[in-house]
Structure 1
Amino acid sequence: MDDLQRVDDWLAALLANLEPAARNRMMRQLAQELRRSQQQNIRLQRNPDGTAFEPRRVTARSKKGRIKRQMFAKLRTTKYLKTAATADSASVQFEGKVQRIARVHHYGLRDRVRRNGPEVHYAERRLLGINSYQVQLLSDAILRWLTY
C-alpha cells in the first residue's frame, strides 16, 4: 500500500508540473478513451465487472430468442454519452432526459413504461463503471502523455 501511495504522489507531482492547458487536453483525451471503453461495454451488453447484462424479459408477443435490436443502442451514442474535462478532472455522463432512463436501468429501479402505463421493475444493468482494465488503460494514457 505504501508503494502505491508513493507512485500516486509521484504522478501528482508530475501532473502539477504540466501547464493547465496541457492538463486540460490530457483530461479531455482520457475522458474520450474512457467513453470509448464504456460504449464498448454497452455494445457488448456487459457490466463493468465483465458479467453479461440480464437478458430482456420474454413476452407473449415476442418470439423466444429473437432480439430485434440491441439494448441501449442510442444511449451509447456520443449524442447522449458526453465527456466533460477540466484541468483537474475528467468524467463521462449521460446527457439530458436520458439520464433518468440510464439511472433506472443502472440501479434496477421501478419506472413506468409509458406516461400512464404500468409500473415495471427493471433489471440492474450497470451502464457506466470502472474496472481494473480501464484503470490500466487510463494509467497507460497518462504515462504516454508524461513521456512526450
Structure 2
Amino acid sequence: MADLEALETWLSPLLQKLDGRGRAQLARKAAQELRRSQQQRIRAQVNPGGSPYAPRKPRDLRGKKGRIKGRMFEKLKMARYLKTKGSPQAAVVGFTGRVARIARVHHYGLKDRAERVAPEVRYSSRELLGVTDREKEIFWEAVANAMGL
C-alpha cells in the first residue's frame, strides 16, 4: 500500500501536465494492460504474491471418483466478466454482475453455497486480483510512454 501512495505522490505533478482527455486515455490503456496481466496470472493459477492457488477439494459424487477437469476460474478471466474502466481520476479493473459475488467469495475465502440446496462451504482464499511488482513496472512504462520520457 505504501508503494502505491509513493507512486501517487510521484505521478501527481506529471499527470497534472496532461489534460483530462490525456489522463483518461492513459488510465484506459493502463487498465487494459493491468487486465491482461491479471488474466495471465489467473490462467497460471497463481496469487499476486507468487504462491499457487489452494487446490480444489476432492469431490466424491455418489461413489464416483475422477479427476476434476479444467482449471479454476476459466471463464472469470474473460474480458466479458473482468471489466476495465479508465477516467481522468482512476484506472479500474474488476468483476461485474453475478460473477463479482463469486469472485469476492473466492478472493477473500468466504462461506457460500455452490447451489441453493447445497450446504454452506468455506472456500479457500485465492486472490484473483492484486498488483504485483511486474504490474507496477507495466504501469510505470505506460506512464513513461504517455509522458514521452
Asked if these proteins are the same fold (TM beyond 0.5), I'd say yes
1:112 correspondence with 2:113:
yes
Letter in 2 for 1:18: L
Tell me what 1:13 maps to.
13
Tell me what 2:103 maps to.
102
Tell me what 2:29 maps to.
29
Residue 134 (structure 1) shift: 1.0
Residue 67 (structure 1) shift: 3.4
Separation of aligned partners in 2, 1:8 and 1:120:
39
Separation of aligned partners in 2, 1:30 and 1:42:
18
**What's the TM-score once normalised by structure 2's chain length?**
0.88
**What's the TM-score once normalised by structure 1's chain length?**
0.89
Tell me what 1:138 maps to.
139
Separation of aligned partners in 2, 1:144 and 1:69:
38
Gaps spanning 5+ residues in structure 1: where? none
Q: Percent identity?
A: 44
Tell me what 1:93 maps to.
94
Number of aligned positions between the proteins = 143
Gaps spanning 5+ residues in structure 2: where? none
Tell me what 2:123 maps to.
122
Alignment of 1:71-86 (within 5 A): 71-86=72-87
Change (3 A) 1:48 1:9: closer
